[in-house]
Amino acid sequence: MEGKEGQFSINTIHKNGMVDVVYLTIDDEETPTALNQFLMETIADVFAPGKGKEIGQQLDIYSISPTDAYSYRKVTIGNSDFGLSVPDEFSVRPVAQ
């Protein structure tokens, strides 16, 4: 996102030597919404190649704003659960076994 600045915070939780959960904080007022959407799509593409836009549409990331009331959305694609706790975090975790 050329010319855009903002905060970028990704946290990972490891389990048995592997990444178990990835969190992207999306509630920073300084980060433009379009940049947050781009980052969510990009992270989704890492775990479900070519599905970033589809995941974004299913989670309705294109309509969120920092003033939205809290809600949680989840979609499963392949072997990953993608979650969005509006307006706080985007998360990716393996499908519960």
Looking at per-residue confidence, does 96 or 24 come out higher?
Answer: 24
Closest of 88, 70, 93 to residue 25, by C-alpha: 88
Closest of 44, 51, 52, 38 to residue 1, by C-alpha: 38
C-beta separation of 68 from 53 below 8 A: no
- pLDDT class of 22 with cuts at 50, 70, 90: confident
- pLDDT class of 7 with cuts at 50, 70, 90: low
Beta-ladder partners of 82: 75, 92
Mean residue pLDDT of the chain comes to: 81
Over residues 49-63, the pLDDT tens digits come to 999 999 999 999 888
Beta-ladder partners of 90: 24, 84
* Residues recorded for the chain: 97
pTM: 0.79
